[in-house]
Amino acid sequence: MRMEHQHGQGATQTTQRKAKLDVGGRLIQLDEDGCLVNPADWSKAVAVHMADKDGLVLGDDHWVLIDFLHRFYHEYDIAPDLHVMARNLCKDQKNCRWTRAYVKELFPNGARTACRYAGLPAPLGGCV
């Protein structure tokens, strides 16, 4: 039987269990996709910790993209999908190396991973 169809105490405990990330002694709650439950918990240290766990070192271009995501989210209250992200980064940075392929090269799983490291919800329009 699949978990979402089970009833009773065991099913409730399993679906309510959330992962936690320990960053400098601070426990940060994550959802089932590894995203922050509370975006206010985000910091550069949290992003670095998430990336370290994924085996990724965040370089200058990663931070340019994360900064862009924060500005975009602040203005539009949504996270952009990969196409919108690449197109706007190209304009924002006045450098068209910011293609969808380049973003996917920087971040495994493209926009979804970038948004996760930025402490934002998953992008609308999918994670690719």
pLDDT in tens, 29-73: 998 888 899 989 999 999 999 999 999 999 999 999 999 999 999
87, part of any domain: yes
Number of domains comprising the chain: 1
124, part of any domain: no
Residue 108 is predicted with a pLDDT of 83
Kindly indicate the confidence band of residue 124, based on its pLDDT and cuts at 50, 70 and 90.
Answer: low
Burial class of residue 123, CB neighbours in 10 A (0-12, 13-18, 19+)? buried
Distances (CA, A) of 102 to 27, 39, 44, 85, 98: 32, 26, 22, 11, 6
* Residue at 42: amino acid letter: W
Kindly indicate the confidence band of residue 17, based on its pLDDT and cuts at 50, 70 and 90.
Answer: low
88, part of any domain: yes
Residue 13's domain is classified under what CATH number? 1.10.10.370
128, part of any domain: no
126, part of any domain: no
93, part of any domain: yes
Domain region containing 74: 3-117
24, part of any domain: yes
125, part of any domain: no
